[in-house]
Structure 1
Amino acid sequence: MRTLLVDHEADLARAVQGALSNCGFAVDVTRTLDEATAAFGCASYDILLLELVLPDGNGLDWLKQLRRDGHSTPVVMMSSLNDLGRRIAIFNGGADDFLPKPVSIDELIARMRATLRRSTQMTAPVVTFGNLKFDPISRQVSVNGRPLRIARREVCILEHLLSRAGRTVARTSLEDSLYTFDNEVSTNALEVGIYRLRGLLNRSGATLSIKTARRIGYVLELNGAASIAFSRT
């Protein structure tokens, strides 16, 4: 899941970015509201982590403007300023959750997952396609009820393909979901991930496969003998 972290505290930002990356999140880090505005205009984010007090302004004022502009991206705000009146203002201003600093990384991840579950995009979190099930919150994948061990990059590829199952997904769309602005994307990185995911699905007995749309992208399809089965439960 693509995440935007807006915080000028370098040590915290590095710790959060590392922990979230290990949990399957692709995290862009910005230090100011100007940088956050630029990032928000270039990429589509699943969730936003926002500090209240930033070098060039107030995070809550920026969030209010996002909401006025019609953006519904879930937002978790953080601040060492933790009085009741301020927390109420943060929720009334459009935040989905609030964490006081210093932040517990484990609690932050748990609250992010809870926020994503509550968001309109994740009202039916478990996706079933053929005999494969995927829970985008826990990042767990199973085939015929048996859990699969999949590397973070391959899980992200699978998630993106599942969100458009049966339709061709452009290479550029897949790459945008996998990499942050700081990543250097090699020319064959996506192909390697697709190759590994194909092999894993094949060995697991999954009734789905990844087809290549030449010069365009990839499509996740059910195998010919499989019955049509796609649902969110």
Structure 2
Amino acid sequence: MRLLLIEDEKELAEALSAALSKQGVVIDHAMLLADACELTRQNTYDAILLDRRLPDGEGLTFIPKLRRAGVDTPIIVMTARNEPKERIEGLNGGADDYLGKPFLVDELMARLRAVLRRPPNVVEEKIAVGKMIIDPLNMNVMIGSALLELPRRELLVLIALAKRKDKTVLRSALETAVYNYEEEIQSNALDAHISRLRKRLSESSAGVTVHNIRGVGYLLKEE
């Protein structure tokens, strides 16, 4: 899951990004609406977390701009402005959900799953490949009744490959699925993740293999 966090409180944004990363979420962070507009032009997000009080304007003004641009990404407004009148204002302003600060990360994750289950945004359906059932929304992989435990980035690589089974996934697309735009990516980092993933898939008899398409990317095939 890749999210855009629009929040100007740096400490809160860093803490929230760290907590969500442990849940397998890739976070891009913007402190200004102007930066958020540019990021939505460059990237596709599963959901957007939006604060209201931002240095360059009211966060709710961002929603109609996105909709006019044809972006239907679910938006959760999260703000200290949590009086009933303000919640109604936010929902009427186009927000898919409204979450008052402070909040628990578990509640935020539950609300994210809820908005992603609503049509037409069902983007994280379970994937059956080889002997595995991959659940991108809940970030787990089952082989029969056994849970296959994978480090977060290896799991994100596997999900990206499984969504395009039997098709080559470009290196750049895999890096986008695994890293946020602020992270410095070492030249061999992706290859290291895939090497370890291959070993785990083989040891667990997952019924799939990852093939290197030299100079292009990687491909997941069932055995």
Q: Do the structures match in fold with TM over 0.5? A: yes
Q: Identify the residue that residue 105 of structure 1 maps to in structure 2.
A: 105
Q: 2:178 maps to what in 1? A: 178
Q: Any gaps of 5 or more consecutive residues in structure 1?
A: 224-233
Q: Distance in 1 between matches of 2:199 and 2:120?
A: 33
Q: Partner letter of residue 122 of structure 2?
A: M
Paired AA for residue 149 in structure 1? E
**Post-superposition offset of 1:66:** 0.4
Amino acid at match of 2:141: V
- Residue in structure 2 matched with residue 125 of structure 1 by the alignment: 125
Q: Check conservation: 1:117, 1:137, Cα contact below 8 A.
A: no
CA-CA distance at 1:119 after TM superposition: 4.9
The TM-score normalised by the length of structure 2 is 0.94
Deviation at 1:123, TM superposition (A): 6.3
Specify the alignment match of 2:37 in structure 1.
37
**Superposition RMSD in Å:** 1.5
Give the residue type in structure 2 aligned to 1:179.
Answer: Y
> Which ranges of 4 or more aligned residues in structure 1 deviate by more than 3 Å?
none
- Residue of structure 2 in register with 1:222 after alignment: 222
> 1:21-74: per-residue Cα shift (whole Å, max 9, x none)?
111111111111011112222222111100012110111111111012110111
Do residues 144 (structure 1) and 144 (structure 2) align?
Answer: yes
Show the counterpart of 2:19: 19
Post-superposition Cα deviations, 1:112-145, rounded to whole Å, max 9, x if no partner, equal 2222222534267221112110111110101123
1:55-94 map, 5 Å: 55-94=55-94
What is the Cα deviation at residue 187 of structure 1?
A: 0.5
Aligned residues, how many?
Answer: 223
Confirm whether residue 193 of structure 1 aligns to residue 189 of structure 2: no
Distance, in Å, in 2 between the alignment partners of 1:54 and 1:162 is 38
Displacement after TM superposition at 1:160 (Å): 0.6
Tell which deviates more after alignment, 111-120 or 205-214: 111-120
Q: Which string of whole-angstrom CA distances, capped at 9 and with x for unpartnered residues, describes residues 80-137 of structure 1? A: 1123232223223221111011222221122122222225342672211121101111
Query: In structure 1, what is the equivalent of residue 10 of structure 2?
Result: 10
Distance (whole Å) between structure 2 residues aligned to residue 123 and residue 219 of structure 1: 21
TM-score by length of 1: 0.90
CA distance in 1, matches of 2:129, 2:6: 35
Kindly indicate whether the alpha-carbon contact (under 8 Å) linking 1:48 and 1:76 is maintained by their aligned counterparts in 2: yes
Sequence identity of aligned pairs in percent? 39
CA distance in 2: counterparts of 1:162 and 1:90, whole angstroms: 37
Counterpart amino acid of residue 197 in structure 1: L
